[in-house]
Amino acid sequence: MNKPRFRKPNISIREIPAYIRGGFSYASRELGRLRGTNVWIFIMYGLLFDTVNNLWRPFSAVFLQRLGGNELHIALLNALPGAVGAFVLLPGAFLFRRFANKKRATAAFILVSRALLLVIAAIPMLPPAIRPLLFVILLAVMNCPDSLSQTSLQSLLGTIFEGNTRGQAIALRNKFGQAVVPVVTITTGLIITFVPSTDAQRMILYQIFFLMAFLFGLVEVMMFRRLKVPNVEAITEDSPSALSLIPQIIKDKKFLKFFLVALLFMFFWQAGWPLVAVHQVMVIQATEMWFAIFALASGIAAFISGGMWQKWLRKYSNNKVFIISASMLGINMFLFPLATNVQIMTVVSFFTGFSTIGINAALLNGVLEATPDENRMMYLAFYNTVMSISLFVAPFFSHTLFSLVGNRGAMFVVGCLRIVVVVVIWLVLRYNKGTEKENKEI
């Protein structure tokens, strides 16, 4: 049978609004079909989660600068949450194993995280000398309940959804989330940029958005509690302890292969985050409005490409999607130094959104595939603990590069290291695939 020939679509600019309306109409029908199911509840929870975080998090570096922060504070903003996560995840996972109702415990940690937003909202009323460091410390403290609740959620996803349903739920959650994120961010950026006439008024607006994030967080907790989770019995006295499970986790070859690949890439991915933030805030001097535009460009790209990554995950292996998206993020680091103004940065942000949603889908899907049903919470806690240590170390690595060769030079070095890592991972995966084939033949 002859393969169908590819036909180039003939779409005029005037037809684009109709295609957009059709896309939203399809999305509405898709949500209506799923209404009341666990997939629908998970999507709604994801939309609320994204709303809470995008009311303030995209502007955290600018907010920190307005509080009086410098390059070191920006590095700490990226590093300290990782240190907190490294300390709390394994003990927290051991604690979670003893909860009879893990969903209720997860909801409680989400609520604690959202309550900290009220404390952050009070920072502008404090003495200027302590504002920057206090903001950084509070965000680090917030990562304690955040990391525990998200690790527990990852574990629950393995219980709530199975096989293809899990992949579909994650893909749909990301797809609809990427449609909401730009709307929230661009609205917030427009308000912060054009409504206040003084810096004092702008600070009041930041406080209002932190308060709104807290209120949306309350709705988020209520939506999360609607998830229908199968009954999971609490840990018994005969169950292995957390410490005795660690050697078992390390010896698990299937998990270890994915874990090492993910860690190797994550370190150099995380190392680039503070460098990009410094470039955006200190070099091209992007305002809240431009950060909103960056998020809009990134979100549009993610929304457009979400379906493509979902198809590739079904059609090809998770490893192949990982390599493709990781390669794009490696190339991305060479584009940031070329973004000498906010307009070019917007174009680069579009490319970033396209590749980021691919790597996020590959990482989450990959770690859930690599972890067994039994003791999944401990596996994920170990995985996220080491990733948190990486998150703590990587910004200091990039700050050292920044001190030695400047920000553009540091971005170039990190970009080269990302490419080298992707090539190494590709060679290792190819070698392992060849070895597996030989073993099967034998």
Percent of the residues in the chain that have a pLDDT greater than 90, as a whole number? 16
The residue written with tokens 């103004």 in the block is: 341
Confidence of residue 208 (pLDDT cuts 50, 70, 90): very high
Contact 82, 390 (CB under 8 A): yes
Which band of pLDDT confidence, cut at 50, 70 and 90, is reported for residue 25? low
Residues 291-300, mean pLDDT to the nearest whole number: 82
pTM (predicted TM-score):
0.69
Q: Exposed, middle or buried, 315 (CB in 10 Å: 0-12/13-18/19+)?
A: exposed
pLDDT > 50? residue 402? yes
Q: What is the pLDDT of residue 356?
A: 84
* Higher-scoring residue by pLDDT: 433, 64: 64
**Topology of the domain covering 27-228+242-441:** Growth Hormone; Chain: A; (1.20.1250)
Q: Which residue has 């899907």 as its token pair?
A: 365
Domain ranges (residues) in the chain: 27-228+242-441
CB 66 within 8 A of CB 199: yes
Tell me the C-alpha distance between 312 and 267, whole Å: 25
CA nearest to 319, candidates 280, 265, 268: 265
User: 196 by DSSP, 3-state: which?
Assistant: coil
* Structure confidence at residue 11 (pLDDT): 36
Residues with Cβ < 8 Å from 134, sequence gap 6 or more?
123, 126
Within a 13 Å sphere around the CA of 117, how many CA atoms are in the beta-carbon half?
26
